[in-house]
Amino acid sequence: NIPVCLCVIMAANSSTGSATEPPGLETQWREIDNLSQQQLRAGDSWYLLDKRWYDQWKEYVHAGDQNSSSYPGKIDNTELYEDLDSYHLKERLSENEDFVLVPAEAWHKLLSWYDMMDNQPPLERKVVDLPSTVKVEVYPVEIYLCLSSNMESTVSIRQHFNVSETAESRLWMRSTDTSSERLRNLNMTVLDACLSSGMVKYTPTIYTPKLWSSVMLCNHLDSYRGPPGVCGLTNLGNTCFMNSALQCLSNTPPLTEYFLRNSYLEELNFTNPLGMKGEIAEAYADVIKQMWSGRHYSVVPRVFKTKVGHFASQFLGYQQHDSQELLSFLLDGLHEDLNRVKKKEYIELRDADGRPDQEVAEEAWRNHLRRNDSVIVDTFHGLFKSTLVCPECNKVSVTFDPFCYLSVPLPVSKERVMEVFYVSLDPTAKPTQYRLIVPKAGQVIDLCTALSQATGVPPNQMAVADVFNHRFYRIYQADESLSCILDRDDIFVYQLSSGCVDQEGEEVVMAIYMRERSHYRDYGSGSNSYSTSLFGHPLLISVPRAQCTREDLYQLLLKRLAGSTDTNSQDATDGDQSTGVEPSGKEEEDEDEEEEEEEEAASCAQANKRLPGRRRYTERQKKALFTIQAVNSNGTTERGMGEADAQPYIAIDWDPDMKKKYYNENEAEKYIKHQSMDVPHQQITVQLQECIELFTTVETLEEENPWYCPTCKKHQLATKKLDLWSLPEVLIIHLKRFSYTKYSREKLDTIVEFPLR
C-alpha cells in the first residue's frame, strides 16, 4: 500500500456545550503564548484559528478588563470555510493573514474557555515530516478511489472495495481526462509521487499480460502530434505559480535552444556547493524537451515539482506560492548548476575613487564573471548603478551591482474604494449599501464626508462602527486613520439626530444590542437569571439626557424598530404604552419571577407616580414587547442603569414568544443597494515606463537599513538612487503587486501596459 496522508472531510459536529470558567486574563495569555512557542513535531496536531478572532482575543486579554469591548465571544472560523454546508476550507488562505496555527493543547484550552460556534468542525491538521523540514499540512491531499469499470462513480477512500485478496491490483493516477499514469513504486510517499487533490483509479487486473500489452501499444500508436512548444502543463494541485513560470522560460528562445541543443550536458556543475548537483538543470531540461517534442498535448511536470520541493522546502506540498519567488529560485538554481566557474576565487572590491563610471562598471562586470559564468548570466544578467549620498558630509559612493531581474513598484493610488452600510434615522428605511471613494491615507471623518455627499446628512451627524457577531467590534473616532479598517470589515455608518459624537452635549450616544432570552433560567451558571443570545444588527442612537429613563427609552426604541416590528396588532399597540418592564402580579408566574419583576418595576416607580392610579394598574397588566437592560460592551454582563460609562450599551431583551410574534427577523436583515454599487470600479492603467521611473527615483534609506559612511565613520540615512547601467538580452521585470501597511497587505489591481520590445 502507498503511505497516504488523508484529509477526511468530517461531518459538522455540534457545539461542545457551555464553556468552562476561564482563568484570569493574564493567565490565559501566558498559557496560550507559552504553548504556541513549542516546536513542530511530526505527527502532532495543530489547529487553524481565524486570525480576526485570535487578534480580538489577544486584545481582550491584554486589556485586562473582563468587560472590555474586545471580548471575542465563541470561536468563529466562518471566514475560513468555503461554505457552511460542507465546511470545506477556502483555497489560498495565508498563515498569519487569514489564520493562525495553535497546538492541540492551546486549542483545547481556548475551546473550553470560549466554546465554538454551533455546528462548526474544528480545523485540525497534522505536522508532516518533509525533506529538510517539518510543517503543518494545511491543505492535505484528498484522494478518492474508483473502480476502472466505473470512472464516474467515486467513493471515499475510507470505504472498502470488495476485492479479493488474491486478485492482482494496480493503482493508476488520472492526470487528465484522457491520460493516466501507473503508480509502480508502491513504497513511495504521496509527496514523492506528487499526488494531488484529485482522482486515483484503483484497478483490479482483469486482463491477461498479453492483452494488456496490446492495449498499451495501441494507446502509444495514437499519441498526439502538434506544433513543438505549444504544450500545456498539468496542474498538480495549486501549481499554477510553477507552471506559469515554466511557460515563460520555455518561450525564451536563447535558454530553450541551449537545452534543446544539449549544450547543458557539457556544462553541468556537480561540485558547486551552491548548486544542486545538476539535478535541477536536468529536471528542467526534461520538461523543456517534452514540451518541444511535439508529441504531447500537455506535460505532467511531476519529477520537476519533486526536485524543486527537495531543494526548496517552501515549495513542498500543494499550497499557493508566488510565481516570482519560484522563478527567482529556478534561475539561481540553473545558474549554479550550470556555472562554468568550478572554483570561485576571492575578489577584493575597489572603491571608485573618482574614476569614470565606464571604467568602474567594466571592472565590476569582469569581477562578476570571474565567479559567475553561465547561460543564465549570458541571457538574464545586467548591471545596476547605485549612488549613495551622505546627508551629513555629502560623501558620494558609486557602485555597480549585477542583477537578474527588476522588481519594480507600481504607482499606488492615493484613493481607496470602501463599501459601507448606511443606517438612517427613518425607522422604515432599510440600511443602504454605498460604494465610496475616500483618501487612502485619510481619516474616518473623510469617510463620513464622502457619505455625506451621497446622503445629504452632515458628517458630524454620523457614527462609524465595525459590526462583528451582532455586536460592535469597534466604534471609531472621527480622527482615526482609515488604514485600520480592512476591506473585509462590515462597516456600518449610523445617522444621529445631532452632532454629538465627539462633544459633550445634551444628548448621549447609546449602543443598542438585540438579545433573545431563553425560555429557562440558567441555574447552572451560579445565578437564576435567563441566558441570552445576540441576534440581528446593533444600533447606535443619540438620546436626550432627559429621556434616559427606562420608560422613555422603551418608547424611543419601539419607534426606532417600527420597520421590523409588527406594531399594528392590538397587543403591540398596548405594548406601546408599557415601560418595557415585564409586569409582575400575574398569577401564572412563580414567586421568584414576581420578586424579580417587582424589583425591575421599582426602578420606574418615580415615573409611575405621575400617572393616574387606574392607568398605573392597567400598565401592570399589559405585556411589554421587550425589556431593557444596561450591559457591557459585549452584551454579556448586565450593569446598573445608573452606572457611568463613556459609551453606554443597552440590550433589548426579547422573550422568545414575543420575538416570534412581533419581530420580523427576515425583514430586519434586508438592505438595499445604492446605485453607486452598480458603477463598475474603473481600473487604473499605468505604463511600464512609469514603474521603471518610480524604481529609479531617489529615496531615503529607512532607519532599519542605514548606510555606513566611511567618511563620517557612522551609520547614516543616506539618499539612494538606482540606475539601469546595462541591460541583458532578456530583461525580466517583476511587478510588485502588493502594498503593505501596518495593518494589512493590499493586492493592487492596476493594469500595466507594456511594449513588446
pLDDT in tens, 619-644: 444 578 898 988 888 888 777 655 55
Domain that holds residue 299: 232-338
- Name which of 254-268, 305-319, 613-627 the model is least confident about: 613-627
The better pLDDT of the pair 490, 203 is held by 490
Residue 251 has what pLDDT? 94
Least confident piece of the model among 68-77, 299-308, 499-508, 567-576: 567-576
Which of 94, 118, 137 lies at the terminal end of a domain, its last residue? Answer: 137
Q: Is residue 653 over pLDDT 70? A: yes
For range 676-692, the mean pLDDT: 85
Q: Are residues 286 and 160 in the same domain?
A: no
CATH of the domain at 71: 3.30.2230.10
Q: Is residue 549 part of a domain?
A: yes
Instruction: Tell me: do 450 and 312 sit in the same domain.
Output: no
- Identify the residue with better confidence: 65 or 651: 651
Contact in structure between 594 and 601 (CB atoms under 8 Å): no
Show the cell assigned to 669.
Answer: 436583515
**Which CATH number does the domain housing residue 698 bear?**
3.90.70.10
User: Are 671 and 704 found together in one domain?
Assistant: no
> 439 with 483, same domain?
yes
Q: Flag whether pLDDT at 385 surpasses 90.
A: yes
- The amino acid present at 681, given as its one-letter code, is H
Instruction: Give 587-625 pLDDT, tens digit per residue.
Output: 333 444 444 444 443 333 333 444 444 444 444 445 788
Tell whether 222 is covered by a domain: no
Same structural domain, 32 and 133: yes
CB-based contacts of 596: which residues, under 8 Å, 6+ apart?
A: none
CA distance 483 to 532: 35
In a domain, residue 169? The reply is yes
pLDDT of residue 642: 52
Which of 310, 338, 366 corresponds to the end of one domain? 338
pTM: 0.58
- Mean pLDDT of the chain, nearest integer: 79
In a domain? residue 8: no
**Mean pLDDT in residue range 164-185:** 60
**427 and 550 share a domain?**
yes
- Total of domains in the chain: 5
> What pLDDT, on a 0 to 100 scale, did the predictor assign at position 607?
36
CB contact set of 116 (below 8 Å; sequence gap of 6+): 15, 16, 74, 75, 76, 122
* pLDDT higher than threshold 80 for residue 105: yes
Residues 189 and 81 in one domain: no
Joined grid coordinates for residue 384: 545596476
pLDDT, tens digit, for every residue of 336-372? Answer: 999 999 988 888 888 787 889 999 999 999 999 999 9
Q: What is the mean pLDDT of residues 282-311?
A: 92
The verdict on 106 and 199 lying in the same domain is no
Encode pLDDT of 505-516 as tens digits: 578 889 999 999
Same domain membership, residue 556 and residue 451: yes
Asked whether residue 161 is domain-assigned, the answer is yes
Q: pLDDT (tens digit, 9 = 90+) per residue, 689-713?
A: 999 999 999 999 888 889 999 999 9
Looking at residue 87, its pLDDT comes to 84
Residue position matching grid coordinates 471575542: 72
Whether residue 575 lies inside any domain: the answer is: no
Higher pLDDT, 585 or 246: 246
487 versus 123: the higher-pLDDT residue is 123
Instruction: Determine the pLDDT at residue 469.
Output: 86
- Tell me: do 428 and 463 sit in the same domain: yes
Cα-Cα-Cα-Cα dihedral sign, residues 45, 51, 57, 59: positive
Instruction: Evaluate whether 583 touches 682 at the Cβ level (below 8 Å).
Output: no
- With 60 as the cut, is the pLDDT of residue 527 above it? no
The pLDDT tens digits for 322-339 are 899 999 999 999 999 999
In a domain, 594, yes or no: no
Q: Do residues 338 and 264 lie in contact, with contact meaning Cβ atoms separated by under 8 Å?
A: yes
For residues 274-294, b (16+ Cβ closer than 10 Å) or e, as one string? ebbbbbbbbbbbbbbebbbbe
Tell me: do 486 and 540 sit in the same domain: yes
Percent of the chain with pLDDT over 70: 74
DSSP single-letter state for residue 745 = E
Last residue of a domain, one of 109, 137, 165: 137
Position 156 confidence tier, pLDDT thresholds 50, 70, 90 = low
Q: Mean pLDDT throughout 218-228?
A: 63
Residue 740 pLDDT grade (very low, low, confident, very high; cuts 50, 70, 90): low
Are residues 429 and 552 both part of a single domain? Answer: yes
Query: pLDDT tier at 10 (50, 70, 90 boundaries)?
Result: very low
In the block, residue with C-alpha cell 448586565 = 638
478 located within any domain: yes
Across the range 294-323, mean pLDDT stands at 86
